[in-house]
Each structure stands twice: as structure tokens, then as C-alpha cells.
Chains A and B, each alone.
Chain A
Amino acid sequence: MTKAGQGTGLSGKAAIVGIGETGYVRGTDDSILKMVVSASMAALRDAGLKPSDVDGIIPPPGFVAWDEIAAHLGIPEVRYTACPQMGGASPVAGLINAAMAIAAGLAEVVLVPIGWNGYSALRPRPDARPNKRRFSAAFFETVRNYYAPYGLRSAPWWYSLYLQRYVKHYNVPPEAAGAIAVACRKHAALNPLAVMRDKPLTMDEYLASPFITEPLRKHDCCVETDCAAAMVVTSPERARDLRHTPVTFLGGAEGHPNRPDELINRDDILKLGLDYAAPRAFAMAGVKPQDMDFLQIYDCFTYVALLELEALGFAERGGAADFVKDGTIELGGRYPLNTHGGLMSQGHCWGMNHIVEATRQLRHQAGAAQVADCEIGLVTGYGDLGDGTIAILGRDG
């Protein structure tokens, strides 16, 4: 049964036909460029397409650019490029953008890759060549001028400025965040590509892990990883001639906090971009949150994932603790979450790994983590200072 056809706008106008990824490792000799083009070539082979079939490239928001991707892959004629600039919300934004370009006739086969040296950048090997690849964002000015002087230099510290209000104002118990961490770790044990596949985590171990900056404990933070991943998107018509069951784009949206470049002077500092985006995506797809068979939630930090679940409508503000308890978000539960292990336990690939996993699930190729007979699921993105994206995907057939 297909869910396509009951939506509006871009719903049903594009499909994911190829996925590729490198290993997820902590330490590599491969450059970011090499990892990104390797994952891209893997995605093309998975789709049964050649570089010459690609006519659109949506590059990552940093590190590598569309032109070198085209040159290294041997893509002879690029007709469309665009680059969403929203950190970890970018891959899902890239999918929406690809669907738009395909629906508009600007491109037919769009490649969307991302990758980085999230582990090695901070721990270069003594003999390693200097890494000149950088990710830049305008909000770094806000950080430099207003946050970093107060000992708030990177993401756990910035986001704690609002997450602590979430915890204290709504009395969110640490067990709620722990449920996210434990579920991701359990799912990672089923994934041969997961960084944390051999490291079980119990709730007691989660609760005993030291604070980094309150409310974030060590086990609330995702794992820094070297990796790349990519997807190939095309029209539904062409998708049906390719190797795999197409995964149809049913709905999607981006949303942004007001003001997007600064965290603390928002009327409601807990209102994420996803709060704005989610209702529009469900409306486009013509479905409800309760129709989902799985949830691939951008989990840079557990408490951010809780706020996303609330933004999606699975709980009232402050109420995600009740939603995530009793195994609901684990495989076998009603809403399995991050069935690959997520950023928390597979690795941090900017959420492209969430799209890759959603695609595997809907093809029914997810191995030990397969959600039986799944037909529809969602992927979220979260980036920079709260940008949010969501895509609702369905199994074609």
C-alpha cells in the first residue's frame, strides 16, 4: 500500500533510490573529500546509476563543495546546485530541495552527500597532514562575541543554556533522556557499522555518567565520528525502473526559531525550528504522527531529541518522559527510534545516517533492526542554533 497520492504540493514527487556510507570510525587516514566522494559513489552504485546520470548536486554546508564533488566523481554536466546552510538540519533540507528541483524539472537525478572528520579534527595524528577543511556559519560570530567568553565554547555548552530551562521548568527526569541514550545503544548493538556496537549501556550506567554541563551528562552527548554518507534522489517514474523498492518523499518542511542566529533572546527559548516545520510536513503528506512506523530523530543530544518528539506532537511540552518510557521507542515498541543507533551510538554523520536508515527500513533491508512490514516513517534534522527539518517517507508499492 502506498501512502503517496493523499498529500499535496511536493508529496510523491521524488524518491530516494540510492544510499551509501563509509564506515563510522574514530580515527581515519582518509580525507573528508575522499570519504564524501566514496559515499557518493557507493550511493550511485546502490541505485544502479552512473556518475553521468547525475545532473544535480546538493553539497554539505561545509568542508567540500559541489564543484569538486562533480569533478572527482566524473559528473559531466551539472544542471542544478543549491546548498542549505543549517548544520545538522541540512541533509533533510537537501532532500526537500532535491524533490523541489526534480518536481520543477530543473534536475532529474540529484546527489546529496555529507561527511566530516568529527573525531580526527580534534585529535589529529602526529604525522597527519594539516586539515584545512572547515565548516563555517554566521552564528559563530554570536558564539565568539557572546557565549565563548563565558566558558561556552561548543555545542553542549550552547544548548545547555536552553535545555536546563526545559529540565527545571518542566521537571523532566534524567530517566527520560536516559531512555533515548539506552534505546540508541541497544539498536547500535544490531548494527555492524555502529561505533558503539560492542558497548552496552544500562540506565544505571547512564545515570552514573558525569555531567559535562548541566543538564547534559556524558551519555547525553552523541559520539564524535569520522564518516560520510550520501543519497540519490530522482523522480518516482524513473525510480521504478531502478534496482530497489523506491522510498517516496511524502512530505517535508524546514523551520527556524525567531531569531535564528542567537539562542537566548527568543520569546520561547524552547521552541525549535521543528515546532514550526512539523505541522507543515504532516499536512503536505496528509498523514498524522500516529501513522508513523518508526522515528529517526536527530539526536545530537538526548534532551534535544525529547524536545523534537514534543514538537512532532507525540507529547505535550515537557511531557516526552511519558512517551519514551516502557520501551515505546525501542525495537518491538510502538515507535522504534533511531533503529541504527543514531548520532548517539552509530555515529555523527549530520543525520544523513538517519536518512540512510529510514531508506533501509522502508526497503525492508534493515537486517536485525528491521521494523516488521514498515510502510511509513519520519526523519528529522536539527542544526546550528535550532534549525529544524523533517521528511516523511513511505515505501512505494
Chain B
Amino acid sequence: MTKHSVKTQPDDLDAEFYSATALAKRLCIQRCTQCGQHTHPARYFCPACSSGDYTFEPVNGAATVHSYTVSHMSVDPAWKDLVPYLAIVCELAEGPRVIARTATLDAANITIGMAVRLETEVVSPEFSYVWAHPAETAR
């Protein structure tokens, strides 16, 4: 599906995030075991309650478009043939925001606040893509 040229080198909690997501084959977000707050990117101490206890838990994939950009050129060999392409800042129902790419949403019709549904594509234990789809489409 994808021409991958991902050069992530996650360590610390970024590695735990990608590893948990790859294992579950679903987007897994850090959650504080004391107060329940979701945090992304993951942090050693919960920004809400300062607890250091956490798990990574799957999220349900419901989100809204918080912002986006449509790129009409790219310096990245993996992307320059894909212009124009969307990168979407998606706000998860659980709170945190993640970036998603898309093959089913149209740059001409995307609007801030619109509902989307997120899916995860595991690339490696060190990286997974988040893909955004129209909210009403079936899984």
C-alpha cells in the first residue's frame, strides 16, 4: 500500500508507544493508571496528576480534524510524487492529537471539526502509520 521510507529512531517512551501499537495492531495511547488521563506523545510523568504509572491502551479511533496542511511540494523523495497530499491533525475522542495521512479524504472537502475514523497500519515495531477515513464509512 505504501512506499515506506520511514527513518524513525524512537527511544524511551516513543519506542514503547510504537512497540505497543505494533503489538496490538491498533493505535495505543499512554494512559495514566492513577487519573486516567491520556497523553501523547507519552511522558514519564502525567501532566494532569504527576503520577509516573502508566499503560498503553488501544483507542477507539473516533476523532475530529483539528488542523491540517495540504502539501503541494515536498523535498522528501518518498512524498514528492504524492503531491498534493494531506497531513491531518486529528483530535482523538480520548483527548490527545495525532497526525494522520489519508487516501480516502479529499483536500478540497476537508474542514476543521469534521469527524474522521482512524486506522493503524503497522510498518515495523518502530513505526505505524495512522490513516484517516471519513467517519461514516464502514470498517
Contacts and interface: CB of A to CB of B under 8 A. Distances in A.
Interface of A: 141-142, 144-154, 157, 160-165, 168-169, 210-215, 259, 262, 264-265, 269
Given A151-B76, A265-B97, A145 B69 contact: no
Interface string B60-102: 0000001111111111101100100101010000001111110
Contacts of B85: 151
B127 A149 contact: yes
Contacts of B41: 142, 145-146, 262, 265
Interface stretch (B3-11, B20-28, B50-58): B3-11
Contact of A211 (B7, B8, B70): B70
A151 B74 contact: yes
Given A144-B9, A146-B99, A265-B97, A213 B67 contact: no
Contacts of A145: 8-10, 14, 18, 41, 127
Contacts of A169: 112
Contacts of B47: 259
A214 B69 CA distance: 5
A265 B69 contact: no
Given A148-B76, A151-B74, A265-B41, A164 B7 contact: no
A161 B99 contact: yes
Contact of B73 (A168, A212, A269): A212
B70 A165 contact: no
Contacts of A160: 69, 71
Interface residues of B, number: 38
Contacts of B129: 149
Q: Which of A149, A163, A262 has the most CB of B within 10 A?
A: A149
Secondary structure at the A interface, as helix, strand, loop or mixed, is helix
Contacts of A214: 69-72
A213 B72 contact: yes
Given A149-B129, A264-B66, A265-B97, 8 more contacts: A151-B85, A152-B69, A152-B87, A153-B76, A168-B111, A214-B70, A262-B41, A265-B40
Contact of B69 (A157, A259, A262): A157
Contact of A150 (B9, B97, B101): B101
Contact of A152 (B7, B14, B82, B99): B99
A214 B76 CA distance: 17
Contacts of A148: 7-8, 76
B87 A157 contact: yes
Given A146-B41, A153-B76, A269 B66 contact: yes
A152 B82 CA distance: 13
B69 A164 contact: yes
B67 A264 contact: yes
Contacts of A154: 75
A149 B67 contact: no
Contacts of B73: 210-213
A162 B67 contact: yes
B72 A212 contact: yes
A117 B99 CA distance: 31
B115 to A, nearest CB: 16
Contacts of A210: 72-73
A332 B66 CA distance: 40
A168 B112 contact: yes
Nearest to A214: B70
Contact of A213 (B18, B71, B98, B112): B71
B125 to A, nearest CB: 13
B67 A265 contact: no
The winner among B18, B69, B79 for most chain A CB atoms within 10 A is: B69
Contacts of B97: 264-265
A169 B65 CA distance: 12
A169 B18 CA distance: 32
A165 B99 contact: no
A150 B67 contact: no
B112 A151 contact: no
A163 B76 CA distance: 21
A259 B46 CA distance: 13
Contacts of B74: 151, 153
A89 B19 CA distance: 35
A17 B97 CA distance: 47
Contacts of B82: 151
A153 B73 CA distance: 11
A151 B82 CA distance: 10
Contacts of A150: 87, 99-101
Nearest to A122: B75
A164 B75 CA distance: 20
Contacts of A144: 7-9
